Structure 1
Amino acid sequence: MELTVVKRDQKQEVQALQDTIYVIGGKWRLPIINSICNGNKRFREIERSIPGITTRMLSKELKEMELNKLITRTVYADTPVLIEYESTEYCKTFAPVILSMIDWGIQHRIKVME
C-alpha cells in the first residue's frame, strides 16, 4: 500500500496563522473571550474577572472584538443604560482551541517547574 503525500501550501498556512493571530492576538483578547464565555456579560464583571486589565484597554479590545464578530454588544434602554456583551456563535467555534491552549498552558507550567 502506497502513502500519498499531500503538499501543504506554506504561504496559505502562514496567511491563516497571521489572520488568527490578528483576531485573537495580544495579551487580553483570550482572557476576555474566556471571561464572557464563563458568564460575565457586563463591562465591570468582565473587568473584575481579568486581573491587570485597565478600563481603557478593555473598552478598546471589546470594540475590536465586536468588529471581528467575536462578541455582540446589546444596549438596553434602562436607567441607567445597561450594556451586555455575549460571545457569538462564530466565537464559540473557537472554544476547542481555547480549551486546548488552556490544557497546553497547564502542562507547560508543570514542565518548566520540574
Structure 2
Amino acid sequence: MAKQVGLDKAELERSLRHLLHCFKAANPEVSSKIVLLLMENEKGLTVSDIKDELGVSYAMALRIVSELESLGVVETDRVKVVKGRGRARKLARVSKDGITKLAKECIEYLEPLTNLQ
C-alpha cells in the first residue's frame, strides 16, 4: 500500500500520525500503526488480531478502532466465530476514501495559514 501512494512505510506512518493528530485522535502513534496495519491487510483484521500484532491491550485496540471508525478512517463488521461458540468478533478494514476525505479536510483547515504575512 505504501508504494501505491508513493511513500515508504515510515513516511506513510508519519503522515498518518500527523493526520490523526490534526483531528485530535487518541494516541496518534498507536492509531497510525493500526491504520497502517489495516492497509497491509486489505481483508481486515479483528480487534484481537490488532491487539496481538501491536502488543496493546484489547481495550485500547477496541477504543482506537472505534474512534477511527467515527472519523471515517476504518469500517467495521461483525463476523461470527468459525469454530466453537462465542461472541461475534469485530472485523476492521481501512477506508481509503475515509483517509482521503480526512486529509482533504485537514488541508482545508490549514490552507488559510499558508497566506500569513
Normalising by structure 2, report the TM-score: 0.52
Kindly state the Cα deviation for residue 75 of structure 1 after the two structures are TM-superposed.
Answer: 1.2
* 2:60 counterpart of 1:57: yes
Kindly state the Cα deviation for residue 42 of structure 1 after the two structures are TM-superposed.
Answer: 1.3
Q: Count residues with an aligned counterpart.
A: 77
Q: Percent identity?
A: 9
Q: CA 1:69–1:18 in 2, change beyond 3 Å: closer, same or farther?
A: closer
Amino acid at match of 1:68: L
**Counterpart-to-counterpart distance in 1, 2:26 and 2:35:** 9
Cα RMSD (Å) of the superposition?
2.9
Q: CA 1:93–1:24 in 2, change beyond 3 Å: closer, same or farther?
A: farther
Report which of the two structures shows the higher radius of gyration computed on alpha carbons: 1
Deviating beyond 2 angstroms after TM superposition, the runs of 4 or more aligned structure 1 residues are 17-21, 23-27, 76-80, 89-94
Normalising by structure 1, report the TM-score: 0.53
**Counterpart-to-counterpart distance in 1, 2:79 and 2:27:** 30
Kindly state the Cα deviation for residue 19 of structure 1 after the two structures are TM-superposed.
Answer: 6.8
**Unaligned ranges ≥5, structure 2:** 1-18, 102-117
Q: CA 1:47–1:93 in 2, change beyond 3 Å: closer, same or farther?
A: same
**Counterpart-to-counterpart distance in 2, 1:86 and 1:47:** 15
Whether the aligned pair in 2 keeps the contact of 1:76 and 1:82 (CA below 8 Å) is: yes
- Which residue does the alignment assign to 2:28? 26
**Counterpart-to-counterpart distance in 1, 2:27 and 2:66:** 14
SS in 2 for 1:93: helix
- Which residue does the alignment assign to 2:49? 45
**Unaligned ranges ≥5, structure 1:** 1-16, 95-114
